[in-house]
Amino acid sequence: MLTYSFTDIGSDCLYQHLYKCIKNDIIQQILCPGEKLPSKRTFAKNLGISIITVENAYAQLLAEGYIYSIPKKGFFVSDIKTVDSKKSSILSSENVQLSSGVSHYLADFTSNQTNSDNFPFSIWAKLIRRILNDYQQELVTNPPCGGILELRKAIAKHLREFRNIYVEPEQIIIGAGTEYLYGLLIQLLGFDKRYAVEDPGYNKIYRIYQKHNVACDLISMDSYGINVDELEQRKPDIIHISPSHHFPTGIVMPISRRYELLAWASKADSRYIIEDDYDIEFRMTGKPVPAMQNIDVLEKVIYINTFTKTLASTVRISYMVLPKHLANKFYKELSFYSCTVSNFEQYTLAKFIEEGYFEKHINRMRTYYHSKRDLLLHALRNSRLAPYVKIMEEDAGLHFIINLKTDLSDQDFCLLAEQNGIRIRALSSFYAQPPEDVEHFFVINYSSLPEDSIKPAIDIIYNIITQV
Amino acid sequence: MLTYSFTDIGSDCLYQHLYKCIKNDIIQQILCPGEKLPSKRTFAKNLGISIITVENAYAQLLAEGYIYSIPKKGFFVSDIKTVDSKKSSILSSENVQLSSGVSHYLADFTSNQTNSDNFPFSIWAKLIRRILNDYQQELVTNPPCGGILELRKAIAKHLREFRNIYVEPEQIIIGAGTEYLYGLLIQLLGFDKRYAVEDPGYNKIYRIYQKHNVACDLISMDSYGINVDELEQRKPDIIHISPSHHFPTGIVMPISRRYELLAWASKADSRYIIEDDYDIEFRMTGKPVPAMQNIDVLEKVIYINTFTKTLASTVRISYMVLPKHLANKFYKELSFYSCTVSNFEQYTLAKFIEEGYFEKHINRMRTYYHSKRDLLLHALRNSRLAPYVKIMEEDAGLHFIINLKTDLSDQDFCLLAEQNGIRIRALSSFYAQPPEDVEHFFVINYSSLPEDSIKPAIDIIYNIITQV
């Protein structure tokens, strides 16, 4: 009968040692396929160990497929060639697809990625170095659940100066991306509430509400923004909008519609407006419109913004400004959550804002995007494509819309573009149910477009729509 | 009638300019309380602007309380002393409480904070510096939704070497803290599923399920871990357990119970086990027990671990290992989410693990905690308190339990301790319905206890229980 020594088992426990010995013998074919293993009882007696130990070792071998059992007959050695091939097929990685963020397009009009030349690496490095030296205790001290106070103060100051929004730092909640904050808001406002988003809009926001299993309406837009009559009909509690620069239509909601929405919100306690101010820093021209947060005296507006647009999409820091009573509710009900942004980045960003680097960076980026937009618009207007293209809503943010003269369906055009190295999305694809009159409109996000791709990309588009 | 110039309005739009002019006149008392403002129509005609513009300016003044309206009579200037005092009372910060993480206790036996001496600042700084130099394009390139591949490969290697767990990097999903990952798991597994947690246990985990509005059972424990009979009775789909070192009881689930649970999970497709392996790196003595992930061949175990315990609670990086089929489901349904940890920290941690610093750090920390635990145990056993204290479950992780001989209720003892600078939690407070026989047991988390607090803290506890 099989005998193993238990004198030198190291840190293993008994059953593990036994398991390893048997497994080893199976792998080295000392125990051959089909061979019967000793019964638990005799084996235990023979080795001077308990039956439980043998049982556990057999159970693990069984679980891993090294042995198999036949009821009332006992345990037998498996053919490990089968075990191995079964294992490798389970472990083959081809099923698990990595959705990588690396773009291999000549021109990607859907990307929001930052060009590395535009990230302030040297300043960031300088600030991190200083913080790692001077803030060691602070860096490992748990922050309040809403984020470190220095950063929230810096953001409050920035909001005051840049956006004329006056809030207490304590109303600001820091989180790892707006997507995370939306989930937190659902926990704060309630899973029983009815939410509503703009149609067309960022599909992602709608999907987040769906994935959280809350009722979510798609509300249509007119030329002023979200449709108030439809709100009255569908009766959502919370609307999630981007009044300052709607994506993808580019609509800037006029003040009159803002007041209508505030009036709508005032009619029930459960009603709130989530104001997503996502790329306000890059409004190019046109009059600045005050944030809804600014004109809200009834504590109905939750303001959300992010640094992923202004710094880099890979720096995951966003924030929301809660009305006082919701901030209190947040501290009461959700303060058990740890802040999702690590202290290291919170302190670095706080210094970055406090010391004026953020403002300089925004100004630099605004100039950069401005000139890139002008380059692109100029190239479009002076290309062979010019007679086929109409440019719309060009005065704000990091995207605009073009209307192409083509007989191709939106789907066919995008597919042909993709095959020729250009990634572009049709306006219609942002609608749940696209109306007929939005065909042949395309969203041009130019923020990560390399300058030397502009001309070839325009030529490709020209070829696609003229050669069909 | 009021007249304002519109020639030099800067970047304001018309209504904003008008709003500011009127507001200014009210503040400077050029317009006095009670004074009637021109009707919209006449004012518009007089200024040569549209009625809408006046309407918008009035609406904003109204919203901010600078004017008030009397139906059918018109708009009147408010008494701004009232406006100001009303404003300041809304904005007073006393309602919003900051829950700060700074501890002012002599000894805090509930804290998980890292001492700054223990964080590897100089190595971290060196790695960040290198990454900021060499990885600029990678730093701003959107990672795959599960996190950057380098980090996931480094974690897979660590799991293999340290925990004998073999997984593909693609099965690993990085997130900003385990709390965030729990929420993500609910979205993956379903809001319609029934969840279960251990009782006693981390109250926070139970609260997270509650806050996500999913059914969640509290399942009692026996001396082997979560009670299988009760699982069969209550019929949850997903159980969330920490088999390798249960908090707070310290129970290490034996292999037999692990197989029972795997057998339980195998009985229905919807059943899964979330294995929270949170402080396995600091198991002090005793035999290592294989992770359940290790012996799971039916893809039923979701393994979760975190770097917040090993590095610092303020570094928000955790991960989960999904079984293949769940990884596929994740990529299909949830890949629209951006990874919540910024690239900067992901790359730094990847290098930290790859280059062997993490292993060294764990070893150093294990020695450090080992000696601190020994100091504390030695001090307890050689103090005046010794006859009144029994030490239990001292062989694993960063906490143990003491049983105090006292007539004080748990609540009274903790209160008296708190008043004397000691924060301590009773074992009973971790139960939903504490059984009677767990009175006078207290959880001692010593990870952030300053060494020079040990003796005075013991003296204080001695005084509390002997002087009543």
- Interface A–B counts its CB contacts (< 8 A) at 269
Q: Give the dihedral sign, CA A147/A151/A155/A156.
A: positive
Query: What is the rounded CA–CA span in Å between residue A320 and residue A187?
Result: 14
Token pair recorded at residue B8: 């030099």
Q: Of the candidates A220, A309, A256, which has an alpha carbon nearest to the alpha carbon of residue B63?
A: A256
Token pair recorded at residue A323: 């009305």
Q: What share of chain B is helix, strand, coil (3-state, %, to 5)?
A: 45, 15, 40
Query: What does the DSSP 8-state code read for residue B226?
Result: E
Q: Of the candidates A11, A168, A60, A114, which has an alpha carbon nearest to the alpha carbon of residue A447?
A: A114
> Does residue A259 sit at the B interface (CB-CB below 8 Å)?
yes
Contact B56, B13 (CB under 8 A): no
User: What are the residues facing A77 on neighbouring strands?
Assistant: A67
Long-range contacts of A363-371 (CB under 8 A, 24+ apart): A365/A118, A365/A281, A365/A282, A365/A310, A366/A281, A366/A282, A366/A284, A368/A118, A369/A282, A369/A284, A369/A398, A369/A446, A369/A447, A370/A284
Q: Of the candidates A55, A76, A65, A40, which has an alpha carbon nearest to the alpha carbon of residue B259?
A: A55
Query: What is the rounded CA–CA span in Å between residue A86 and residue A80?
Result: 9
In B377-436, the residues whose Cβ lies within 8 Å of chain A are: none
CB atoms within 10 A of CB A204: 14
Please enumerate in sequence order all residues whose Cβ is within 8 A of that of B209, keeping only pairs 6 or more positions apart, or say none: B182, B186, B195, B197, B216, B240
Q: Which of B64, B141, B343 sits opposite A297 (nearest CB)?
A: B64
- Give me the average pLDDT of each 10-residue run along chain A (468 residues): 76 81 84 87 85 84 78 82 44 43 78 85 96 94 93 96 90 97 98 97 95 97 94 97 90 89 94 93 70 91 95 94 96 95 97 96 91 93 96 78 95 94 95 90 92 94 90
Token pair recorded at residue B157: 């290697």
What pLDDT, on the 0 to 100 scale, is given for residue B286? 57
What pLDDT, on the 0 to 100 scale, is given for residue A433? 85
What pLDDT, on the 0 to 100 scale, is given for residue A90? 34
Query: What is the rounded CA–CA span in Å between residue A380 and residue A394?
Result: 13
Residue of A nearest to B15 (CA): A255
Token pair recorded at residue A142: 């748990």
Residue of A nearest to B333 (CA): A211
Alpha helices in A267-334 (DSSP H): 324-333
What pLDDT, on the 0 to 100 scale, is given for residue A116? 84
Query: What is the rounded CA–CA span in Å between residue A343 and residue B313?
Result: 9
Angle formed at CA B427 by CA B422 and CA B430, multiple of 5 degrees: 110
Instruction: Answer left, alpha or beta for residue B172, where phi above 0 means left and psi between -120 and 50 means alpha.
Output: beta
Long-range contacts of A91-98 (CB under 8 A, 24+ apart): A91/B166, A91/B168, A91/B324, A93/B168, A93/B170, A95/B324, A95/B327, A95/B328, A96/B168, A96/B170, A96/B171, A96/B324, A96/B327, A96/B328, A96/B331, A97/B170, A97/B328, A97/B331, A98/B144, A98/B146, A98/B149, A98/B170
Q: Of the candidates A142, A134, A146, A132, which has an alpha carbon nearest to the alpha carbon of residue B312?
A: A142
Contact check, Cβ <8 Å, A315/B93: no
Contact check, Cβ <8 Å, B256/A52: yes
Contact A342, A196 (CB under 8 A): no
Residue of A nearest to B289 (CA): A13
Token pair recorded at residue A141: 């001290």
Q: Of the candidates A420, A402, A135, A366, which has an alpha carbon nearest to the alpha carbon of residue A249?
A: A402
Which residues in chain B are closer than 8 Å to A65, comparing Cβ atoms?
297
Query: What is the rounded CA–CA span in Å between residue A77 and residue A61?
Result: 9
Which residues in chain B are closer than 8 Å to A334, comparing Cβ atoms?
211
CB atoms within 10 A of CB B380: 21
Q: Which helix (H) or strand (E) holds B276?
A: strand B272-276
> Does residue A284 sit at the B interface (CB-CB below 8 Å)?
no
* Residues recorded for chain A: 468
Query: What is the rounded CA–CA span in Å between residue A151 and residue A348?
Result: 9
User: What are the residues facing B275 on neighbouring strands?
Assistant: B241, B303
Strands B107-108 and B422-423: parallel
Contact B355, B347 (CB under 8 A): no
Question: Best residue in B86, B189, B316, B339 to probe A by mutation, most A CBs within 10 Å?
Answer: B316
Contact check, Cβ <8 Å, A204/B149: no
CB atoms within 10 A of CB B451: 12
Residue B278 has φ and ψ, to the nearest 5°, of -60, -35
Query: What does the DSSP 8-state code read for residue A37?
Result: P
In A83-102, the residues whose Cβ lies within 8 Å of chain B are: 90-91, 93, 95-102
ipTM: 0.81
Per-residue pLDDT of B287-320, as tens digits, reads 667 899 988 989 999 999 999 989 999 999 999 9
User: What are the residues facing A426 on neighbouring strands?
Assistant: A442
Q: Give the dihedral sign, CA B155/B159/B161/B162.
A: positive
What pLDDT, on the 0 to 100 scale, is given for residue B121? 95
Query: What is the rounded CA–CA span in Å between residue B325 and residue B334?
Result: 14
Contact check, Cβ <8 Å, A140/B213: no
User: What are the residues facing A305 on neighbouring strands?
Assistant: A319
Token pair recorded at residue A258: 């803002």
Residue of B nearest to A57 (CA): B255
Contact B21, B43 (CB under 8 A): no
Which residues in chain A are closer than 8 Å to B15, comparing Cβ atoms?
255
- The residue behind tokens 């900067």 is B344
Low-confidence ranges of chain B (pLDDT < 70): 10-11, 63, 81-103, 284-288, 393-396, 468
Contact check, Cβ <8 Å, A100/B60: no
Which residues in chain A are closer than 8 Å to B448, comparing Cβ atoms?
none
Residue of A nearest to B131 (CA): A125
Confidence (pTM) = 0.82
B10 to chain A nearest CA, in Å? Answer: 10
What pLDDT, on the 0 to 100 scale, is given for residue A94? 40
Residue B98 vs residues A143, B27, B179: alpha-carbon distances, Å: 10, 34, 20
Q: Of the candidates A78, A29, A37, A79, which has an alpha carbon nearest to the alpha carbon of residue A57?
A: A37
In A16-75, the residues whose Cβ lies within 8 Å of chain B are: 16, 52, 55-56, 59-60, 63-65
Query: What is the rounded CA–CA span in Å between residue A312 and residue A227?
Result: 33
State the Cα torsion B354-B355-B359-B360 to the nearest 10°. -170
Q: Which of B166, B328, B338 sits opposite A179 (nearest CB)?
A: B338
In B99-118, the residues whose Cβ lies within 8 Å of chain A are: 99-102, 113-116
How distant is the alpha carbon of residue A254 from its chain centre?
29
Which residues in chain B are closer than 8 Å to A314, comparing Cβ atoms?
139-143, 342-344
Question: Best residue in B11, B20, B211 to probe A by mutation, most A CBs within 10 Å?
Answer: B211
Per-residue pLDDT of B125-163, as tens digits, reads 999 999 999 999 999 999 999 999 999 999 999 999 888
